[in-house]
Amino acid sequence: MQILKESEDEIILDDEGFQIRAKAIRLGAFAVVAIDFYREVWCAFHDGMLWYKSFHMRDWEAVNIASWTYKYKNLLVFLKDYPQLLKLFASVDFPD
C-alpha cells in the first residue's frame, strides 16, 4: 500500500487502484477520523466510515457506512489493514 498524499490531518492511500482518504479532526469534546474511498465511476471520494472518541470514552467507536467497512468494529483490526493511518488517530486522541 502506497501513501499518495500525507499532511498533518489527512492521508490518502492507494492499494492497487483502490484509494482511501482519512481525515482527522478534533470537534468539540470529540476526536473524529473520517474514512472515504474513491469511486472511479463518479470520479470522487465517498463516505466509507467514521471513527469517533470522546474524552470520557475508553475506545474508538466505528460508524460503518460502506459495505466493505462492516468488518471493522474494532480499531485494532482496522489499523492491522491500514497501519499507515495510526498517526492520524494518535494526532487527535486524548491522553490517558
pLDDT of residue 70: 95
Query: Are residues 9 and 88 in contact, defined by beta-carbon separation less than 8 angstroms?
Result: yes
Distance CA 39, CA 30 (A): 28
Q: Which residue has the higher pLDDT, 16 or 50?
A: 50
pLDDT of residue 31: 96
Question: What's the domain count of the chain?
Answer: 1
**Residue 38: all three cell numbers together:** 474513491
Provide the domain limits for residue 27: 2-92
Distance CA 73, CA 7 (A): 26
Distance CA 77, CA 80 (A): 5
pLDDT of residue 15: 84
Average pLDDT, stretch 66-90?
95
pLDDT tens digits, one per residue of 57-67? 999 999 999 99
pLDDT tens digits, one per residue of 24-47? 999 999 999 999 998 777 788 889
